Structures are given as C-alpha cells and as structure tokens.
A = this chain, B = another copy of it.
Amino acid sequence: MAFSETQVRVRYAETDQMGVVYYANYFVWFEVGRVEYLRARGISYRDMEKDDDCKIAVVDARCRYKAPARYDDLITIRTRVSRQRGALVHFAYEAVRAEDGLLLAEGETVHVCIDSQFQACPLPEKYQVLSEETA
C-alpha cells in the first residue's frame, strides 16, 4: 500500500514540562502527514476546500504512544490511506524518530467529506486516486 513520508522537527512550543512532546501535538503532525500525502499525489488540500467545496472533517482520531519524542528531534511521519469508500476516508500514520528509526507513535484518523453546509458528500471524482491506493 502506497505511503508518503514527510518530516517535522520538534519545536520547543510542542514540549511540556515532562520534557517530552505533549500528546495532542501528534495529531497536528498527523495533519501535516495527510496534507503532504495528498500533495505527493498532486492534490492541494487548500484548493480542494476552495475550488471543490470539499472539506475533510475528522470523525475519529486515535494515537498509541510507544516512546517519547523530545525537543529538536527530527520526526518522520509516514502516512497512508487505509480505506476509502463514499464519503469516508481512513488515514493511518506512524511517527518515527529519523535518527534511528525508533517508532514513537502509531495512529489513525477517519474523515468524512463535507460541503460548505457541513453535509456529508461523496469524495469528488477527481480524488478517486485515494480509493485506488487502498485496493
């Protein structure tokens, strides 16, 4: 199954007083992973919102934390579409420490395509690449 990789470097702002990355921030990185996954397939999520009246709202998000990410670590985010049907898209992620490949966290998010009225709608035809990759 095809996946994309992108990297983020841990910002001081993302740490907490435990000296590790605060848990909610992994979901921000997953968002970065999603957008870069789409970009690698020629899809600009910005244009998708603006030109196609199609937003991808989150309905479920999960993360399992394996090892702490620390300040200034370079993190590889691996993203793939694990399932796509109708209005629903499932993404899966891994956050890996770039230096040594240590798995830091795994996660999934489920999204529903909505229009500007916040109504569910099928993923526009031109984005069918997302479903093909899960075949």
Q: Which residues of A contact B (CB under 8 A)?
A: 9, 11-13, 15-20, 22-25, 27-28, 31-32, 35, 44-46, 55, 57-65, 68, 71-72, 118
Whether the Cβ atoms of B55 and A60 lie closer than 8 Å is no
Whether the Cβ atoms of A16 and B27 lie closer than 8 Å is no
A23 touching B27 in the complex, CB below 8 Å, given contacts A35-B72, A61-B63, A71-B46: yes
A65 touching B72 in the complex, CB below 8 Å, given contacts A12-B17, A15-B16, A16-B16: no
How far, in Å, is A46 (CB) from chain B's closest CB?
4
- Which of B23, B45, B72 is within 8 Å of A72, CB to CB? B45
Residues of B within 8 A of A32 (CB): 9, 11
